[in-house]
Amino acid sequence: MNNNFLVFSGRASRYLAEKICANLGCPLGNLLIQTFADGEFGVSFEESIRGKYVFLVQSTFPSSDNLMELLLMIDAAKRASAAQIAAVIPYFGWARQDRKDKPRVAIGAKLVADLLSTAGINRLITMDLHADQIQGFFDCPVDHLYASSVLMPYIANEVGLDNLVIASPDAGGSKRAFAYSKYFNVPMVMCDKHRDKPNSIGEMFLIGDVAGKDVVLVDDMVDTAGTITKAADLIMHMGARSVRACASHCVMSGPASERVDNSMLKEIVFTDSIPYRGSSPKVKTITISNLFAETIRRVMNNEPISSQFLI
């Protein structure tokens, strides 16, 4: 492998960057982040990166300090004469703001893409964007990875395929659920929801038959867990034998953990793109460090990454 690269991390994703470096067999780069009394912070690389391919690991989940920290890391790397700068963003925040869905609103995902590009990235490595078209907001190469490569083996091993049904908690996730059901060659069902307002669900209906089945709900992220838990309870009331959930990003804000605990979900499985800070016994985490480490290895060796995709 080409060793002319270095991996650095912001504070939010250091736990994941350390695992990535362990898989790559390299040390995590020495980056200093200094916070001032008023809350402002600055970053500095404590080793030479001149002429190196630099990978900066930082998810941009709230607070917005995580995004600002990444922008400062990119700018510092550019000014320190790094040859190439790759932003490794397992969870790309603001991705739900990918279009104008009503008058006089911002397109947050495009704004963040512009900020990253202006700061100076040459490549983006991310996973399970909320909307695939966000890749088009960038003029640099985007390696869009999928959590299915770690979630699908878990489903096959823990749930089995004999009695499996894949479910989507809403119409927006039907494409993802169909891909899972096609891969496993099992039926798919869908929940149809109607929102009263953001993070609030009015009515929900089930399209399809789940009687006597082991159902797995698949989604890209779980925020307040209102949709996923209501879908799970509906599925169980429609006669399912068991219901689990798998999601890429563990946002889990506000009452999410309590809702999961009080729901009929047997378990909910996330990747570690975002650290889970709650304490629900139903929440399990699978690491994506192998996935990102192998992608970095392939980028440095100029090898295709398509072979990593199950779907």
> Using one digit for the tens of pLDDT, what is the confidence trace for 6-20?
999 999 999 999 999
Average pLDDT, the chain: 94
Sign of CA dihedral 211, 170, 259, 246: positive
Worst-scoring range by mean pLDDT, 21-25, 119-123, 194-198? Answer: 194-198
Known catalytic residue at 266: no
What local confidence, expressed as pLDDT, does residue 68 receive?
A: 97
Question: At residue 83, does pLDDT exceed 90?
Answer: yes
pTM > 0.85: yes or no:
yes
More confident residue, 164 or 201: 164
Higher per-residue pLDDT: 199 or 83: 83
**202: pLDDT confidence band, cut at 50, 70 and 90?**
low
Per the listing, tokens 């809350």 go with 39
What is the identity of the amino acid at 113? A
Q: Output the pLDDT for position 307.
A: 73
Give one word for 309, left, alpha or beta, with left for phi > 0 and alpha for psi -120 to 50: beta
pLDDT in tens, 226-236: 999 999 999 99
- Give me the catalytic one of 19, 52, 193, 230: 193
Rounded CA-CA distance 103/183 in Å is: 39
